């Protein structure tokens, strides 16, 4: 009696889904981005592109540099006095924290690299205070980009770099999807830590975490939409203009 040889099971690993990741601003809430990244990696997603504003730029940059574990182990256990020691107080220059101590501490723990040398595409978004326009950092010093993007108006002193006076990217683009449009991935996941508690979905892809939106297709905006579709939008732009005027002393 002839017996058929057993058929070997196909044990080839399932290819990881390549994704773009957008990390929004949000102050201390932005530390939630650490958990989001860890869960995405645990679920087998391949993060190939990152764009972020403010805290999103910081956490995304640390991950892109391959130092997220080290950064998490340093920053999360910090006690209140440890944090206070990192604050270099100033009473001039547009903010009451210079930011140099924080950035130097980050550089010490994470190291400084060129953005173009990172293993993933990375963009930090800041705002040119004089031109009142977004500035995208996709090359050059990673930490110069982060320093500019985290310069929260009236809190951190604006960062002067390459002839520009730069502040927090969240001022104009708190969830910068646009920089990831140039990267070919299967999906874009945008994390807004200031978003609604109820999960939302776009393009038929369901969200699994509060404040997270998954996009299969992305709108072709450039982050500088001048539309005046509703009164709320116009009032928001008016508030931003007044903030710029205040920071510039006008």
Tell me: pLDDT of 209 over 50. Answer: no
Is residue 4 a part of any domain in this protein? no
Is residue 2 a part of any domain in this protein? no
Give the chain's largest Cα–Cα span.
95
Q: How many domains does the chain have?
A: 1
pLDDT in tens, 113-150: 999 999 999 999 999 999 999 999 999 999 899 989 98
Is 69 a known active-site residue? no
Task: Give the chain's mean pLDDT.
Answer: 74
Is residue 247 a part of any domain in this protein? no
- pLDDT of the residue at 207: 36
Is residue 153 a part of any domain in this protein? yes
Is residue 231 a part of any domain in this protein? no
The upper half-sphere exposure of residue 45, i.e. CA atoms within 13 Å in the direction of its Cβ, equals 19
Tokens matching residue 140 = 């050059």
Is residue 55 a part of any domain in this protein? yes
Q: Are 203 and 216 in contact (CB under 8 A)?
A: yes
Q: At how many degrees (to 10) do helices 68-75 and 32-42 cross?
A: 140
Is residue 214 a part of any domain in this protein? yes
**Among 124, 120, 113, 146, which Cα is nearest to 52's?**
124
Is residue 199 a part of any domain in this protein? yes
Q: Which domain holds residue 54?
A: 18-222
pLDDT in tens, 150-188: 888 777 778 889 999 999 999 999 999 999 999 999 999
Catalytic residue among 20, 25, 49, 54: 54
Q: Which residue has the higher pLDDT, 235 or 127?
A: 127
CATH number at residue 54: 3.40.1090.10
Is 202 a known active-site residue? no
Radius of gyration of the chain, Cα coordinates, nearest whole angstrom: 20
pLDDT in tens, 29-80: 888 899 999 999 999 999 999 999 999 999 999 999 999 998 888 777 554 5
Catalytic residue among 20, 121, 149, 168: 168
- Compute the average pLDDT of residues 219-244: 40
Number of other CB atoms surrounding residue 97 within 10 Å: 19
- pLDDT of the residue at 99: 58
- pLDDT of the residue at 105: 75
- pLDDT of the residue at 204: 37
Cα–Cα distance, 86 to 100 (Å, whole number): 9
The pLDDT-based confidence of 112 (bands split at 50, 70, 90) is confident
């Amino acid at each position: 009696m002839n017996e058929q040889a057993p058929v070997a099971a196909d044990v080839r690993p399932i290819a990881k889904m390549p994704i773009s990741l957008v990390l929004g601003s949000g102050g201390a809430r932005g530390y939630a981005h650490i958990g989001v990244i860890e869960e995405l990696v645990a679920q087998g997603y391949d993060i190939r592109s990152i764009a972020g504003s403010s805290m999103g730029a910081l956490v995304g940059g640390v991950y892109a540099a391959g130092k997220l574990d080290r950064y998490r182990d340093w920053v999360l256990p910090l006690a209140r006095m440890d944090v206070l020691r990192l604050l270099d107080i100033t009473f001039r220059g547009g903010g009451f924290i210079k930011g140099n101590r924080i950035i130097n501490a980050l550089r010490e723990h994470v190291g400084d690299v060129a953005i173009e040398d990172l293993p993933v595409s990375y963009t930090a978004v800041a705002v040119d205070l004089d031109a009142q326009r977004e500035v995208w950092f996709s090359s050059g010093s990673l930490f110069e980009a982060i320093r500019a993007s985290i310069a929260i108006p009236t809190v951190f002193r604006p960062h002067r770099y390459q002839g520009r006076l730069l502040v927090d990217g969240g001022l104009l683009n708190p969830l910068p999807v646009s920089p990831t449009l140039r990267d070919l991935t299967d999906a874009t996941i945008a994390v807004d830590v200031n978003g609604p508690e109820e999960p939302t979905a776009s393009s038929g892809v369901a969200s699994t975490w509060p404040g997270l939106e998954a996009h299969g297709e992305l709108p072709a905006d450039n982050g500088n939409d001048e539309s005046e579709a509703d009164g709320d939008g116009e009032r928001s732009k008016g508030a931003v203009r007044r903030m710029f005027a205040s920071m510039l002393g006008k």
